[in-house]
Amino acid sequence: MDILDYLPTWQERDGWRETTYWLKQNFDDVCLDTFCEGEYPNLEALSYRCSVDAGTGYVTECIWVFAASREEISPADGKVVVEPRIWQCPSPIASMTRAQDLAAALANDNPLRSPLPHSDTTLYDSLLDCL
């Protein structure tokens, strides 16, 4: 199930919503100096979703989805030619990571650079291998 549906209290669910807000803001802050200098300069973070095993409470998988496009004007006919691209970036979540532990580890205003539970790796580190 979705981590947002799994977290038991409204405070934890609101905290997770705030975490996903800050992830997007953190990405926007670093994008121009890193990820947005390549072929797709208008890269956007779309959503960060995590699944949880309802029986154990362990995080099964987290995926961060990004989209971008490259546009050019055709000199022959003036048409806008769009080349879209989507990335699905998996997060390196350690096995046996509880949903509440992940939510707590990322509950700050810079979750992009916060170490993931049971690891020294950050979500930023994982994007270097994906984008």
Give which of 74, 95, 94 is closest to 83, Cα–Cα.
74
pLDDT value at position 37?
A: 76
pLDDT value at position 125?
A: 94
SS3 for 78? Answer: coil
Q: Are 96 and 58 in contact (CB under 8 A)?
A: yes
Q: Are 40 and 32 in contact (CB under 8 A)?
A: no
pLDDT tens for each residue of the chain, 131 residues long: 999 999 999 999 999 999 999 999 999 998 877 777 778 878 899 999 999 999 999 999 999 999 999 899 999 999 999 999 999 999 999 999 999 999 999 999 999 999 999 999 999 999 988 98
pLDDT value at position 40?
A: 81
pLDDT value at position 86?
A: 96
Helices (H), 37-122: 99-105
- Residue 34 to residues 30, 50, 59, 84, 121, Cα–Cα distance (Å): 6, 25, 29, 19, 18
Q: Are 78 and 72 in contact (CB under 8 A)?
A: no
Joined tokens for residue 105? 């580890």
pTM of the prediction? 0.87
CB neighbours of residue 52 within 10 Å: 24
pLDDT value at position 35?
A: 79
Query: Where do the structural domains in the chain lie, given as residue ranges?
Result: 3-128
Give the model confidence (pLDDT) of 73-83 as tens digits: 999 999 999 99
pLDDT value at position 36?
A: 75
Joined tokens for residue 73? 């004007």
Burial of 127 (0-12, 13-18, 19+ CB in 10 A): buried
